[in-house]
Copies of this chain bind each other. A is one copy, B any other.
């Protein structure tokens, strides 16, 4: 089977932006083409726009704005994991020979709206539709069952804001202290404001191509070596009654590790989906970075810091980089590319050869995992 490589990347500054989604998409797309001058826009025959934006026909509009006339242009919408799903789909179509070279472009404009997307389909929650409610259920259960502390949760946010302060594209540019997190506004007990990721405006793009073409475009292709996806449902009440593990994460990670023939210990850098601090801790466990229940200790021991056992969210993650829904999964790929190529500046993880992204949706009912490797 054909191997698939990432050969270019581009990303906008995340945050509160005056730009429209069109402007953001064009900005990330242009940066992406500039990063890989060998790729001719005429050679792009797939444009996959990952977004939860309501505007119809948005992929064709984005392609036109970038001067691309592809075979296939389409929106891929899978809420917060749209980006991971779009990269997986694009890579599969390249393997099938339907697409030669693809632009995957994640974009979201959120500050023009009054609210974050609510989970209106989820009748199992009664009237409580804001995402922090499910994060809090998991946090409470983890604290009760495993003795995880609010301080351990807070450390995730401190680490990720420290990392984002070294990422010029991140939404949040200032480091924060443990006290800042602990004293921040309560949202849903035990989660406070800094335990929660922020809506953001932003776009990110990567160019994917076949092995044959990759060698002509760049000397430093980054290979997709494993993929895993799992959709366990949509409503909170239908996913898992235990509230300490996510079957979608376990299954997607297992598929990806198996395909990449790698164990968790073979990964040096990971972008996890820290929509809330508790999410990163449970993902340490569900992905095999540490034992179940030991996620709090893992962050406390500094094992997920740059220089620790496995650097998690060197970009700042959703907590530090911001979470423009459809752009997040693609931004994860951009960070892993930069890390594996040694182009991550102050936040560079030294000697990383394999990296991983985990992109999640809607109370972790869906998970999309991709493992990348450099030559």
Chain A interface residues toward B at CB < 8 A = 1, 22, 47, 52, 54-61, 63-64, 69-79, 82, 85, 88-89, 91-93, 95-99, 117, 119-121, 227-235, 238, 255, 361-362, 365-366
Contacts and interface: CB of A to CB of B under 8 A. Distances in A.
Copies of this protein chain in the complex: 2
Nearest to A82: B74
Given A73-B366, A85-B72, A366-B73, A57 B234 contact: yes
A61 B121 contact: yes
Contacts of A88: 72, 98
Contacts of A47: 231
A89 B78 contact: no
A74 B89 contact: yes
B72 A75 contact: no
Q: Interface centre among A70, A77, A88, A235, by most B CB within 10 Å?
A: A77
A74 B70 contact: no
25 contacts: A1-B97, A47-B231, A56-B77, A56-B79, A58-B77, A59-B77, A59-B231, A60-B365, A61-B234, A63-B231, A64-B234, A69-B232, A69-B233, A71-B229, A71-B231, A71-B255, A72-B229, A73-B231, A73-B366, A74-B76, A75-B78, A77-B77, A92-B96, A96-B96, A98-B227
A60 B362 contact: yes
Nearest to A95: B96
A8 to B, nearest CB: 20
Q: Interface centre among A56, A58, A61, A119, by most B CB within 10 Å?
A: A56
A93 B97 contact: no
